[in-house]
Amino acid sequence: MSAQIDSKKTVFNTAMLYLMTAAKLIFPLVTLPYLCRVLTVDSYGVVTYVKSCMTYFQLFIDFGFILSAVKDIVDANEDNDKIGYITGQVIVARLCLSAASFVVLIIISLAIPLLRVNFLYTLLSFIVVAMSSFLLDFLYRGIEKMHLIATVFVSMKSISTLFTFVVVKDDSDLLLIPILDIISTLVAIVINIIQLNKLQIKIRFENFKTSFDMIKNSWTYFISNMATTAFSVLNTVLIGIFITPKEVAFWGVSLQLISAVQNFYTPINNGIYPQMIKAKSFAPIKKILMIFMPIVIAGCVFVFVLSEPIITIISGEQYAGAVPVFRALIPVLFFSFPGMLLGWPTLGAIGKVAETTRTTVITAIVQCAGLGLLIVFDAFTLMNVAIFRCITEALLMILRASYCFKFRSEFQ
């Protein structure tokens, strides 16, 4: 008899992930105007540049465990001994990846003047990323206690945000920014330890071989995440090379708003993923599509009609020129919701990891090839890039839908 989706649990977990997503958007928006005011342009440039670099180190250290380790913990079937063992091995795997990342950090800091001149700030920021090895987000997702993730995240961000306003007054306080993040992360780790004791989960480690095997097994998940990230970086880099700075600003504003909406798709996918691993039924996916696609369509129409006031109210009258680009990117919102839902929560839940990754890699290759053709034929404009971005998002959805149809017999 197949497992059934626990609707109440899924809704609660999804709501908690929405809370965390909202917090991720709100806390940076709170500190951004303040830091821009108290720091010089050069110092704030250091903050944003180092933060961008740390994003990729974080991606490498996480290494897809947010998907692979969640699956392992769900498969442990509430056996706390197995869950503790999996958690311990993942922590060690992350620490090994952190050590490798540190070597890379030294090399690129020697090569990049901005990082070399601000090496202490860079090093302190990296320590925060390495400490994230002990933030057990994958564990709480696997045991479907997402409210514990939200508690940890909101606690640590509240601490760092509050004290940023208290202690950071000018450029001389620059190093206090990562130090506050280190302190808040330590608090989060302590909260994790308390929660583990309450859950009666004892972390244990046996050997490095198992941890390396976990890294190997998580490779496909990592490639999938890296393909998407690498594509985004290339997209931005090429836009910065081939078009004017003013148009770069228009692209940045438009893409930031699109990405903000997409962030609210993620909790639905993460919320249903553990239940899908258990049930392996397409019925809840169909139900979600029937409920949310009309909302997505209505939202796309609403945003298209009100594009101009949305852009000018959020970014100012000087960004009115971004409206056509923003409108051209709106189809991304339509295609990305089913595209994301048919990926890891659907194909990944029935073990089609390679197929899910293949759809991402193919789409990234097509997008990069398309950008190359636009450059060769002297057609590299914001509108053309935006249109091609919509085409590749549609391609991703179609590829994943075709795999779901191909493997339809494997759903319960």
The CA angle 263-228-334, to the nearest 5 degrees, is: 50
**C-alpha of 16 from chain center:** 16
Residue 206 has φ and ψ, to the nearest 5°, of -115, -50
Residues 32 and 306: beta-carbon distance below 8 Å = no
**C-alpha of 46 from chain center:** 22
The CA-atom distances, in angstroms, between 110 and each of 47, 58, 105, 237, 313 are 18, 20, 9, 22, 42
**C-alpha of 391 from chain center:** 22
- pLDDT for the residue 21: 65
Return the percent helix, strand and coil in the chain, to nearest 5.
85, 0, 15
Here the tokens at position 148 are 């514990």
Between 322 and 296, name the one with better pLDDT.
296
Q: Can you tell me whether residue 202 is helix, strand or coil?
A: coil
CA atoms within 13 A on the CB side of 22: 8
- For 9-43, write each residue's pLDDT tens digit: 667 766 776 677 666 667 766 776 577 678 786 78
Chain-wide mean pLDDT for the chain? 84
- For 45-84, write each residue's pLDDT tens digit: 678 678 767 878 888 898 888 878 888 898 888 888 999 9
- For 337-374, write each residue's pLDDT tens digit: 999 999 989 998 898 988 998 998 899 889 889 989 99
pLDDT band at 1 (very low <50, low <70, confident <90, very high): very low
Q: Where are the alpha helices (DSSP H) in 143-282?
A: 146-167, 176-199, 208-217, 219-242, 245-263, 266-279
Is the model's pLDDT at 249 over the cut of 90?
no
- pLDDT for the residue 76: 85
Quickly list DSSP for 223-246. Answer: HHHHHHHHHHHHHHHHHHHHS-HH
